[in-house]
Each structure stands twice: as C-alpha cells, then as structure tokens.
Amino acid sequence: MEFAFRRTYRGTLKAAILDWAGTTIDYGCFAPVAAFMRAFQAQGVPITVEQARAPMGMGKRDHIRAIAAMEPVAAQWQAVHERACQPADIDAMHQLFESILFDAITEHADVIPGTLETTADLRAREMHIGSTTGYTRALMARLVPEAKRRGYAPDWIVCVDEVPAGRPAPWMALQCMMDLGVYPAEAIVKIGDTVPDIQEGLNAGMWTIGVIKTGNEFGLSEKQVAALDAETLNAKREQALARLAQAGAHYVVDSLADCDAIIDDIDARLAHGERP
C-alpha cells in the first residue's frame, strides 16, 4: 500500500494585504468614479455611474478598457467616432483620468471608521500590514501622505504599474508577500471590496475577506448608508454579499472593523491544517 503525505502550515496568520479605496480609505470608493466619467465624457461618450463602477478593483487602464468594451458604451463610441475604440483612445483616456484624479485624490483620503482600530489589532497580533492598489505609484505619492496624516500607514504598498499585470492577476499580492518577507501564502489574508480583489487573493493562494458596506458594492457615502431604511439596507447587503461570495470570498463583512473575529477563525482553521 502506498501513502502520500502533505506538508501543512499550522501557525497563525502572518500578514494582511489590504486594498485602499473602499476598504481603508474613501468610504464608498468615490475618488475614481467621477474621473472615469469625465474621461469618457471628454471623448463625447458619456457613461453612467454603474458603468464606471462595474470593473472597479482592476488596474485603471484595464478598467477603462473594460468600460469601453461594454456593449452600450462600444455602440455609443461607434456612433460618435464612426469606428471602434482604439488602444490610442484608451491611452488618452487613461492619461486624462490620471490627471483628473491627481488633482482630486486628496479630497477622498479620509480613513474609513474602524480602519485604525483594526490595523492596530493586526499589529498587536504581530501581523504585517501590506497593501495593493489599482492606482499608479504617481497617484499614491499624492495619497499616501494624506492617509498617513490621518493615521493610516501600511507597512508596504505595491502599485499596479510595478507588476506585469493588475488584478485579477496575483502579482501585486505576491510581490507584497515577497517584499514583506512573509510566507507561506496560506499565512496571509487579502481584504478588499471588489470582485478583482477577491480574485487577486485567491489566485495568490491566500485567504480572502470581502468588504461590502464601505466599498464599491454599495457605492454610497457613510451618510447615505446611514439614511437607508432597514429593508433597503438589507437588500443591498444581500446583493453585495452574493457577488463577493460567488467570486469565492472565504468571508464577507460589512467593513474592515468586522474582521477581528474572522482572523481568529482563520487562525483556528490553520491550526487544524486547513488551507484556503
């Protein structure tokens, strides 16, 4: 009789890799939406808020390409320009997007409630705090000092223009893992508010937690969320939960503030030899 033996990690989580807008800062993920809409409007092809939000979590050039490929947008582009959207058009819109967001990004740098407390708890557990983002390093050079001034400063940041491809590819998460000097992948949890966030973590072999109430899935400010009646709030929560759960998220929570008990649960699962 032949036996196979599998090596298993039974320690605790060593790191959390957090998204930025909608997860740790910018409640509702508003900063990029207006910039996407203005970039398309400048080409004579207005888009809706829903269209602007749909590919959220991807690298911003890929995000623009995904919007342009949407059937209604592609048809409108064809009608306006009498041709399909070209790579040069994507480049032009991305350049405009970056310039618009560069000026506006600091207006959306407020830290989401619970972020500072949760990151303090993670550090008390001796976990590293990494981060990945669909923003370029130039944009983050504007955002990081503002977030730090408000009390939030992760240990490491990997930007989309520093890897071969952005989400859903795992390269940012794996680069962050390498830069932090932390392994194995099952000792890391990826936390974010979009489907590409979850896919990034899963493709990297990490645990994943989806955030819904503060992020792109709700797409509302803190005041707007607070003003929702119970029935509407529950309906939006169920819809958002379903999207991230169907993407494969191991857990889904309202906000980063709700992750403490989940970290305990993952540690317990690791102790029993479970893997993501």
Q: Which residues in 99-120 are b (16+ Cβ under 10 Å) and which e?
A: ebbbebbeebbebbebbbebbe
Verify whether residue 60 is a known catalytic residue.
yes
Dist CA 123 CA 129 (whole Å): 8
- What are the backbone angles phi and psi of residue 25, rounded to the nearest 5°? -135, 170
Residue 126: how many other CB atoms lie within 10 Å: 10
Of these residues, 14, 19, 89, 190, which one is catalytic? 19
- What are the backbone angles phi and psi of residue 192, rounded to the nearest 5°? -160, 175
What is the token pair recorded at 108?
A: 């959306």
What is the token pair recorded at 84?
A: 């399909």
Dist CA 38 CA 98 (whole Å): 11
Query: Which residue in 209, 249, 193 sits closest to 19, CA to CA?
Result: 193
- 21 to 1, 68, 101: CA distances (angstroms): 54, 22, 13
Of these residues, 14, 60, 190, 236, which one is catalytic? 60
- 69 to 1, 62, 74, 81: CA distances (angstroms): 55, 10, 6, 15
| Largest CA-CA distance found in the chain, in angstroms, rounded | 70
Give the catalytic positions in this structure.
19, 60
